[in-house]
């Protein structure tokens, strides 16, 4: 804690020194201001380096939050977007139990998706799970009248 306070105090001093150097440079009209401007820039870079251990993660999270919401939506959604990709991938890779679970999720959130019922029934048949097959055949018939 003491090291953090010391770094922040040094950062405050560097910031004040950088501002003073820049104000002095603005009063000059020649190449002589170059040293003051570079000293001011160096002071500001030092400030950033001194305070970064406490601020970098918070700032990065704040900047990344809008983009993360695009890739990984938060729990504010009532239901996940409809997507058969994972269930079909599991079925193709013969990970049939996992495929059945994914189809169950689709049917839970989208009960009017007839394709999910049909594909789940086919996977259950491929797995040899007659109980699941019969359960979803009955649900499909009552829901869609087929």
CA distance 20 to 77: 51
Query: Is 6 part of any domain?
Result: yes
In this structure, the answer to whether residues 7 and 63 fall within a common structural domain is yes
pLDDT-based confidence at residue 79 (cuts at 50, 70, 90): confident
Query: Is 80 part of any domain?
Result: no
pLDDT-based confidence at residue 136 (cuts at 50, 70, 90): very high
Identify the domain boundary among 39, 71, 103: 71
Structural domain count of the chain? 2
pLDDT-based confidence at residue 2 (cuts at 50, 70, 90): confident
Q: Is there a contact between 123 and 91 (Cβ–Cβ < 8 Å)? A: yes
In this structure, the answer to whether residues 67 and 89 fall within a common structural domain is no
Query: Is 30 part of any domain?
Result: yes
Give the domain extent around 54: 2-71
Q: What was the pLDDT predicted at 75?
A: 59
As a whole-number percent, the residues of the chain with pLDDT over 70 amount to 96
Chain centroid to Cα 13, Å, comes to: 37
Query: Is 76 part of any domain?
Result: no
In this structure, the answer to whether residues 103 and 62 fall within a common structural domain is no
pTM of the model: 0.49
Question: Which region among 46-55, 87-96, 124-133 has the lowest average model confidence (pLDDT)?
Answer: 46-55
- pLDDT score of 78 more than 90: no
- pLDDT score of 93 more than 80: yes
How confident is the model over 6-34, as pLDDT tens digits?
A: 988 999 999 999 999 999 999 988 888 89
How confident is the model over 60-70, as pLDDT tens digits?
A: 888 888 787 77
Query: Is 79 part of any domain?
Result: no
The half-sphere exposure of 17 on its side-chain side, counting CA atoms within 13 A, is 15
């Amino acid at each position: 804690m003491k090291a953090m306070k010391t770094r922040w105090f040094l950062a405050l001093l560097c910031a004040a020194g950088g501002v003073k150097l820049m104000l002095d440079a603005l009063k000059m009209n020649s190449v002589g201001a170059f040293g003051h401007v570079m000293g001011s820039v160096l002071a500001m870079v030092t400030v950033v380096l001194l305070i970064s251990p406490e601020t970098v993660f918070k700032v990065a999270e704040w900047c990344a939050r809008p983009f993360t919401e695009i890739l990984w939506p938060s729990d504010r959604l009532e239901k996940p977007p409809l997507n058969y990709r994972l269930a079909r991938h599991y079925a193709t890779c013969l990970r049939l139990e996992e495929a059945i679970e994914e189809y169950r999720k689709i049917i839970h959130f989208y009960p009017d998706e007839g394709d999910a019922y049909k594909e789940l029934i086919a996977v259950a048949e491929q797995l040899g799970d007659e109980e699941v097959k019969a359960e979803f055949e009955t649900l499909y018939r009552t829901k869609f009248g087929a």
